[in-house]
Amino acid sequence: MRFIGTMIVEKDRHQYQDLIALFNGQFKQALNTVLVAGDGEPLYQPANSDSENHQVIFAHGFYASALHEIAHWCVAGEARRQQLDYGYWYCPDGRDAAQQAAFEKVEIKPQAIEWGLAAACGFAFNVSSDNLNGVMPDRLAFQHRVHDQVLLYLQQGFPARAQRLIDAFRAFYQRPALTLADFDYRGMYER
C-alpha cells in the first residue's frame, strides 16, 4: 500500500474485472454497450453480425487502459458510437509537432474524464501524450490543459455517462465525492 495525494493505492485493489462488472451493470441494458478486455490494441466496435452489443475494448487487461477507453466512450456522441473507433483518425506514435498538437487537442476532454474516473476509483492517473518515438511533447503544458478541463467539469458537471460511472465507481470503492484535492498534479511526474 502507498499514498498518492489523497489516495491510498493498494496493489490488488484495482482489478479490471471490477470495471467490467460496473460498466456492464450500468450500460449493457441501457445502451447495449459492454466493456471487454482485449488481447491487442484498444478498439471501439459497434454492434454488428459478430456481436449484438457495442464493445469498448481495452488493451491487454490493463486497468488504466480500461479507464482511458471508457473515457473516450463517455465523450462520443450517439452518431460516433455507431462507427468503428468512433470514426476518428488515429495517427500512431511518431507524430511530428503539428500532429502531436492535434492529438493533444482532442485528448483533453477524454483524459479529464479519465482522471475523474480514476479519482473515483482511488487509482493514480497520469496524462498520456502517447508519442514515445516522435517529437517530445510538453507534457506539463498538456497536464495543465487537462487539469483546467477537470476543474471545469467539477464546476459544471461531468458528462452524464461519465458521472453515472463516477458515482458507481465511488460507491464500489467507498470513495467520497470528488473535490479539488483529488486533482492535485504537483509531484505527479516525480513518481
Q: What is the mean pLDDT of the chain?
A: 87
- Summarize pLDDT for 35-74 with one digit per residue, the tens: 999 999 899 999 999 999 999 999 999 999 999 999 999 9
Instruction: Answer whether residue 93 shows pLDDT above 70.
Output: no
CA dihedral 102, 127, 45, 15 (to 10 degrees): 180
> Measured between alpha carbons, how far is residue 60 from residues 22, 64, 100 in Å?
19, 10, 25
- At residue 18, the pLDDT reads 98
Contact of 86 with 44, CB cutoff 8 Å:
yes
Task: Using the predicted structure, report yes or no on whether residue 172 has a pLDDT greater than 70.
Answer: yes
Show the domain range for 19. 2-190
3-state helix, strand, coil in the chain (%, to 5): 50, 10, 35
User: CA-CA distance, 26 to 31, in Å (whole number)?
Assistant: 9
pLDDT of residue 134 exceeding 70: no
Give me the mean pLDDT over the 79-86 stretch.
96
Residue 80 backbone phi and psi in degrees, to 5: -65, -35
What is the Cα–Cα distance from 18 to 79, expressed in whole angstroms? 28
> What type of residue sits at position 99?
Q
Read off the pLDDT of residues 107-120 as tens digits, 9 standing for 90 and up: 999 999 999 999 99
pLDDT at 105 over 50: yes
Please count the structural domains in the chain: 1
At 3, phi and psi to the nearest 5?
-95, 135
Rounded to two decimals, the pTM is 0.88
Strand locations in 16-103 (E):
33-37, 43-45, 54-58
Residue 91: predicted pLDDT:
64
Q: SS3 of 180, please?
A: helix
> 115: closest CA among 178, 34, 25?
178
CA distances from 116 to 47, 74, 181 (A): 27, 12, 12
Report the alpha-carbon distance of residue 9 to residue 67 in Å, rounded. Answer: 16
Q: Is the pLDDT of residue 174 over 60?
A: yes
pLDDT band at 88 (very low <50, low <70, confident <90, very high): confident
In the prediction, which pLDDT does 159 show? 98
Confidence at residue 133, expressed as pLDDT on a 0 to 100 scale? 53
